[in-house]
Amino acid sequence: MREIVLDTETTGLKANAGDRLVEIGCVEMVNRVLTGNVYHVYINPERDMPIEAFNVHGLSEEFLSDKPLFEDIADEFLDFIKDDTLVIHNAKFDIGFLNAELERVSKPLISYDRVVDTLDLARRKHGNNGNTLDQLMSRYGIDGSRRVKHGALLDSELLADVYVELLGGRQISLMGFVEEDTRTQTAETVNVSVSHSQARQRPAPVPSRLTPEEEAAHAAFIAGMGEKALWLKYADDAGKSV
């Protein structure tokens, strides 16, 4: 199962009032494991950078001035995310900006029915308090020391860790499956290690609890069932193992 964890940075909070995308960061997960396959781009918003937004992500108008326009990267972005599930924190914000940009260049919009909103997951699991990305990282013991300012690629990597924790963590105890941390692997090399343990044998077989008379009566009962009776197979196997 392929999922794309996604984050954006913008010039402000209102996609329908002139604010624009300035950064997109995506990380690929296969079976809830990071593959190392990422998509990251800075975007020229074709407008000024409000100081409030600059204080959040540190991306200046000068820095972005020689970066591609959204119309130049729209196809490669859509090709990376394909039709797979998108994992986003507070998805209405990011999808609102992405769809505003896609609509400007006459590209297909992103449907909300393919989105997993980790903010909704966190609220269902933890209630309505303490569900920012920073707070969830602290709750789950995820190291956020690199997060001096917001950055779309770093935040998507951190969100991937939070997402896995919201779903119950990496360790899968049932059936002996353990997912390896494969951050540096490509999608083709992601795998799940399976541990097979042999059942321990008793030093001596447990003696039968049946008396000789009970065993003889059972054998006579099976014999009366005919040549095709399934019980005969088990009786033969039992005789071979003695």
CB 191 within 8 A of CB 180: yes
Residue 28 lies in a domain: yes
Mean pLDDT to the nearest integer, 110-139: 95
Q: How far is CA 8 from the centre of its chain?
A: 18
More confident residue, 218 or 64: 64
| pLDDT above 70: residue 229 | no
For 84-99, the pLDDT digits (tens) are 999 999 999 999 999 9
The verdict on 222 and 125 lying in the same domain is no
In a domain, 171, yes or no: yes
Same domain, 60 and 6: yes
Closest CA to 44 of 21, 12, 75, 18: 21
Write out the residue range of the structural domain in which residue 132 sits. 2-194
Helix (H, G, I), strand (E, B) or coil at 24: strand
Question: Among 89, 150, 196, 218, which one carries the catalytic annotation?
Answer: 150
Domain count, the chain: 2
pLDDT tens column, 48-94: 999 999 999 999 999 999 999 999 999 999 999 999 999 999 999 99
Coil, strand or helix at 119:
helix
Can you tell me the mean pLDDT for 214-238? 67
Please report the pLDDT score of residue 197 as a whole number: 36
218 — pLDDT class (breaks 50, 70, 90): confident
Mark whether 134 and 216 lie in a shared domain: no
Q: What distance in Å separates the CA atoms of residue 40 and residue 77, rounded to the nearest whole number? A: 9
Regarding whether 66 and 115 lie in a shared domain, the answer is yes
49 belongs to a structural domain: yes
Starting at the edge strand found earlier in the chain, the sheet holding 115-117 runs 33-42, 21-30, 2-10, 85-88, 115-117
150 is known as an active-site residue = yes
Asked whether residue 203 is assigned to any structural domain, the reply reads no
Say if 202 falls within a structural domain.
no
Residues 104 and 219 grouped into a single domain: no
Specify if 156 maps to a domain: yes
Residues 64 and 141 in one domain: yes
Mark whether 97 and 168 lie in a shared domain. yes
Q: Which amino acid is at 137?
A: M
pLDDT at 194 over 80: no
| CA distances for 238 relative to 174, 215, 216, 224, 226, angstroms | 31, 12, 14, 18, 18
CATH number of the domain within which 61 lies: 3.30.420.10
Q: Is residue 43 domain-shared with residue 158, that is, in the same domain?
A: yes
- One domain, residues 159 and 217: no
| Residue 126 and residue 190 in one domain | yes
What is the DSSP secondary structure assignment for residue 46, as one 8-state letter?
S
2-10 and 85-88 as β-strands: parallel, antiparallel, unpaired? Answer: parallel
**CA distances in angstroms from 205 to 162, 202, 210, 215, listed in the order given:** 50, 6, 14, 18
Same domain, 128 and 218: no
Inter-residue contact 12 to 45 (CB < 8 Å): no
Give 170 or 69, the one with higher predicted confidence. 69
- Contact (CB, 8 A) for 53 and 10: yes
Residue 207 in any domain: the answer is no
Do 190 and 217 fall within a single domain?
no
* In the predicted structure, residue 191 carries a pLDDT above the cut 50: no
Q: What is the mean pLDDT of the chain?
A: 82
Task: Decide if pLDDT at 180 tops 80.
Answer: no
